Amino acid sequence: MITQFLEELPEGMSTPDFTRKPIALTIQEGKSLFFKAIVVGTPTPTVTWGRANGEILFHPSVCEQKYDEASHEHTLEFPKVSPDDADTYKCFAANEYGRAVCTVVLNVIEGRNFHVYESVLCNKSEKPMENEDKVWEILLSADKKDYERICAEYNITDFRGMLKKLNEMKKEREEEIAEFVSHISTLKHIEVSDEDCATFELDMDLKDPSSKIFLYKDGVMVPFTKEESEDPKHSLKQVGKKYIFTIKKLAKDDAGLYSVDVEGVNVFSTDFKVPEVDFAVKIQEVKAEERQDALFQCVLTGPMTEVKWYGKSAPLSNGEKHEITVSEDKLIHKLIVRDCLPLDAGIYAAVAGIKSCNAWLIVEADKDAAGKGKKAARKTTVAGGGSDEDLIKIAKEQQEKYQKEMEEKVAKAKKAQEEREAADAVARAEADAARKAEEEAKAAARAKAKAEAQAKKGPLLKERVSGKIANPGVHFHAGLSDCKAIIGEAAELECKVSREDCVGIWYRDGNEIQSSEGLTISKDGTVHKLKIHKVTEEFAGKYKFEADGRKTEALIVVEDPPRFDAEELEAFKTPVTVKKGQKATFKLPFIGREPIKVQWYLEGEELSDDSNIKIEHSEGSSRLLLTKLQRKDSGEIKMKLKNEFGTVEALSQLVVLDKPTPPMGPLEIVEASSSVIEFKWRPPKDSGGCKIGNYILERNQVGRNTWKKVGPIGPDAKYRDGDVDHGRRYCYRIRVETEMGTSDFLQQLLTTFESFLLAAYPGPPSAPKVVSAFKNCITLSWSPPADTGGTNILGYNLEKRKKGSNLWGQVNPPEEMIRGFAVKDVVEGMEYEFRVSAINNSGAGEFSTPSEFVFARDPKMRPRFTDAKIKSFMVVRAGNSARFTINFEASPWPDVTWLKDGVPVSKKVTISNAEGTSQLLIPSAERTDTGIYTIIVKNIVGQETFSVEIRVTDEPKPPGPVELDENVPGTVTISWDASPDEKRDDRLHYMVMKRDSNKRTWHTVADRIFNNKFTACNIMPGREYQFRVYAKNDMGSSKPSESTKWLISSKKEKFTVNTPESKVCDLQCPPRFIVPLKMHTAPQGYECYMSCAIKGDPTPHVTWLRNNISLNTNTNYFISNTCGVCSLLILTVGPKDTGEYKIVAENSLGRAECSTKLTVRGESSTSFPLTSFNFAHALA
């Protein structure tokens, strides 16, 4: 994240920025590590390090900050990592114009459990990975389907452990990303295209569109441009929310881990691997005929599982159209294009790693015109890569070469390993020798220091041993330890020496200090103490205690975290109790270094200023005011303070008092007899924050209008009522009483319960429900009563009543109890209602609520026709009877109506209706009875209709006389008079048959003729013809009307052929342009097509040139010569295609040239002549 302090920066000045960011690490306890960062900015920024929780203790044995002037690297080094060092670290770079911040996470695995983590990352039998952070970055951005492949690639064996650790890291990563990105999806990993470039993309919705995006390769920042262009190697293209990164001009050093960061937070990583592979045999141009198969094949220099195939820049996959195969040795790769069509023609490419090759597929049109659209027999056109035997031979050679190279690499690796081990052994020996020499030097220095100290102090203890004086001197039993002190509190440093008579001196930041106001230096035996009574900022620094030439050092780090006064905090913890609708205030003073972030929470939800919430901040205190409080606002109040030194919280409780809610049902009967009813209930869901004082119980005897107050019965949720009479029914209602008031009656608040209790008698069952109703039977069902009266239900009494009557009649016999019943004693069409009462040992209880009124009749049903297939058209011969029957079902019985052409049928038509059937009968049908007959079936539920067309007709009478006439040579026009039935039958038509003198059989030449004329064609001279005309309708055909015989005599003439005298013609000529080339101007990125026409005999040889360089062998141009029409096609025009294009035609008789100029729109180019011709005529 970069913060700029000024709106406009002076010229030449810039804010700090990171060109290399530190990489997150996970490391074992006890190992060393370092974070590295490179920072730029003008003026040169100042770099500091910090951590999220607490401060970094800079000490040579704990942590050091360094700067390398040669590499400009800022380093934070940990000589020996401990679990306490695990945290989120921040690198700050600041100058007078801005500040940049970068975060990095350090995870430490404790030594006792490290073997578990190590098994996640590597196989114990193999060497552990060197770049664990890279593996985690790859896994964080990988798809789940790729986990297994990545684990196998990096020797991860504990898959379950890996998933557990990965899920934890994903949660942390999502929290970091959410700060800058609201949504991220469609992570597409890096892929190489057929245009010698690699791309990867992601969909990302930035919260701030101006957020900076950075690209890193193996942790090093990579510069890129915002749009694609010719020169830059790395570019970013943004389309809406999609970000596409492109790497051009691919090389081996482009391999690595690419990471995309937004404001210092990694959002996506992808691993780009460049296999060491190339094409030993490239794909060649293939020419295939239409409807044939085409084969592209190539051979690689090393084994590869798959290569990527592209057809016209689109990726291809296995399917019906394309078949992709690979040999067992993974060296020979083939692509078969099935069933080639002209649409399949174009450039096809194969991509292996960062290498690619392409070739044309030319589809020639099928020359067999009759076979157009028919698929030819399958056959494969093999490209110029050689036969299968040649490819296998080449592949074998490449495999042997590859194996040899691998053996050489293994041998070199083993040799390098041995050399490294030998060098390590030498280095270890030299290090041991140096360490030994250093220890000897230190021992000599210590001995010298002891001697000098002893000489200054004087001999305290002399003892002659072999002529030498032994004096052990002073040494430390316990040295000083670093101390974190809080402003305003006391801090103490102490150390312990070996002798009581030792005198020491204290130093702060190199200056000697003595006891003074606020600072006490004391000595208690061998223990020396320095005590600061009240710490302030000036006491921070490096303290040193020196005695007898020995010294010990420690740091006092002064912190000022937010904190509360103990008495104020204790008072704040006291719960605040208010009544509903009142206000509550919380206030607590605090101290600590500014800035301090203050947050208030209610039940874990952060509070902000609102209509009923007001938060006020002043220097050293904060106040929360809550108004118009409700019972639901009760809960935990939390005040949270945070500054750079830490976080502190204070907790209190808010209690809002209100009247209680009603007791909770249902009422549960404990005992029920003829003299006692005992029942219990559940306390209210919310007592309003107060203790329950009493339950107020009221009782009502069913049938009376008064409620008797039983009185407060105490806080227990149960009651035993002994003042009941046998056979009486009672209703109870209950309220809760607290110091805040009395609850509402339960039935008034929907949470109430009002339970009818019967002393020994059962309660009423549910209202009877009608299961089914017919004209002679009504079936009922009901649910047993909720209150059984304390005993089992023996049966039920059922009563019925007609609508409009006040008298109830019992359905079942008095001596017979029922459990379910089908009432058969009903009258069809009458309307009834029913009620039921339960019976137990005490007798019959109260009747239920009456059921709804129900008719004794069959259920209503909309009419519908039941025939599977119904004819909608009938033909009846005149004089016969017409009969149409249709079946239906409906309830109640429907009205059936028949219509003819929309009006009621005549009396002549007989309609017969029976149960579920209706029949229409027309006796002795006449032609006038023809029409559309409709049946309408209708009842109170709905209606249904169906129409049938009945056509009454007879065999038609034959047409009138037939006449023949020749209006056009070779044709005969047949005409006839209309049949008498034509006017009465609109479906009548005619059929014409013909017979000639050669075949002597009749055959139809025309049918369904609705006029009286027809022209017959193909009438041959010399043959005798005769025609018949029939009238036809739905009943059949009439008798024919025949024509007279027709004959056209043939005239034979002598046929003479005049053959012209042949002459010898010499067609040979030198080449000549019939149609010259034209000048072309094409937009960049579009295709360009040039063509001209050439004449010459013998057929001239044609050569295309651009800027006098031949193009005939250039696969980027599609050149064709068909019957003298020469063409050149450029699929995608670019600036490099600008220039002069020339075509040269040569044969044995001469030579001809034609040139033109191609200009790419928007590109400047050298001037060329528009179009020129040069003809060299006949050779000698």
Note whether 659 and 742 are within 8 A (CB): yes
The burial class, CB within 10 Å (0-12 / 13-18 / 19+), for 671 is exposed
Distance CA 452, CA 610 (A): 76
Peptide bond into 980 cis (omega under 30): no
Q: Which domains does the chain have, with CATH numbers?
A: 1-109 (2.60.40.10), 111-178 (no CATH), 181-230+242-273 (2.60.40.10), 279-366+378-402 (2.60.40.10), 475-554 (2.60.40.10), 566-653 (2.60.40.10), 664-758 (2.60.40.10), 769-855 (2.60.40.10), 861-953 (2.60.40.10), 962-1047 (2.60.40.10), 1069-1176 (2.60.40.10)
Beta strands 1150-1161; 1139-1147: pairing state? antiparallel
The two structure tokens encoding residue 1145: 């035609």
Q: Sign (positive/negative) of CA torsion 815, 820, 824, 826?
A: positive
Listed residue (1079, 1075, 1093, 1073) closest to 1152, CA to CA: 1073
| Contact status, residue 296 vs residue 283, Cβ threshold 8 Å | yes
The whole-number pLDDT of residue 949 equals 92
Token pair recorded at residue 678: 């005992």
CA dihedral 420, 425, 431, 437 (to 10 degrees): -150
Phi, psi of 1037 (to 5 degrees): -115, 155
pLDDT, residue 1006, reads 92
Contact 204, 267 (CB under 8 A): yes
Tokens representing 232?
């830059």
Determine if the pTM surpasses 0.95. no
In the prediction, which pLDDT does 1173 show? 43
Structure confidence at residue 900 (pLDDT): 92
pLDDT of residue 1050: 66
As a whole number of angstroms, the distance between CA 1065 and CA 1062 comes to 9
- Output the six-digit token pair for 250: 């691919």
Is residue 387 within a helix (H) or strand (E), and if so which, with residue range? none
Task: For 769-852, list the strands marked E by DSSP.
Answer: 769-773, 778-781, 795-802, 809-810, 821-823, 831-840, 843-847
* Tokens of residue 620, six digits: 């050293």
Rounded (10°) CA dihedral 385, 391, 395, 396: -150
Phi-psi region of 312 (alpha: psi -120 to 50; beta: other; left: phi over 0): left
Beta-carbon count within 10 A of 706 CB: 8
State which H helix or E strand residue 1034 sits in: none
Query: In whole angstroms, what is the distance from residue 906 CA to residue 897 CA?
Result: 12
Lookup: tokens for 384: 């110029």
d(CA 684, CA 743): 9
Q: For residue 1045, report the phi and psi dihedrals to the nearest 5 degrees.
A: -75, 150
Query: In whole angstroms, how far apart are CA 987 and each of 267, 953, 1037, 1131?
Result: 80, 10, 12, 64
Residues 6+ apart with CB under 8 A from 152: none
Taking each helix axis as running N to C, give the angle between helix 132-141 and helix 159-178, from 0 to 180 degrees, rounded to the nearest 10: 70
Residue 75: partners with Cβ closer than 8 Å, 6 or more residues away: 34, 35, 36, 65, 66, 67, 68
> Would you state the structure tokens that stand for residue 238, as one six-digit string?
């943004």
Tell me how far apart the alpha carbons of residues 963 and 973 are, in angstroms, rounded to a whole number: 8
- 111, 15 Cβ separation under 8 angstroms: no
Burial 894-921 (b: 16+ CB within 10 A, else e): bebbbbbeeeebeeebeeeeeeeebebe
**Residue 551: count of CB within 10 angstroms of its CB:** 16
pLDDT per residue over 714-756, tens digit each?
A: 888 888 888 877 667 788 888 888 888 888 775 432 222 333 4
Q: What is the pLDDT of residue 379?
A: 52
Q: Collect the ranges in the chain with pLDDT lower than 50.
A: 112-130, 369-373, 383-385, 457-471, 747-759, 1164-1180
Q: CB of 740 within 8 A of CB of 658?
A: yes
- 301: nearest Cα among 283, 274, 281: 281
Residues in a beta bridge with 752: none
Give the pLDDT confidence score for residue 12 in this predicted structure. Answer: 86
d(CA 764, CA 515) in angstroms, rounded, equals 96
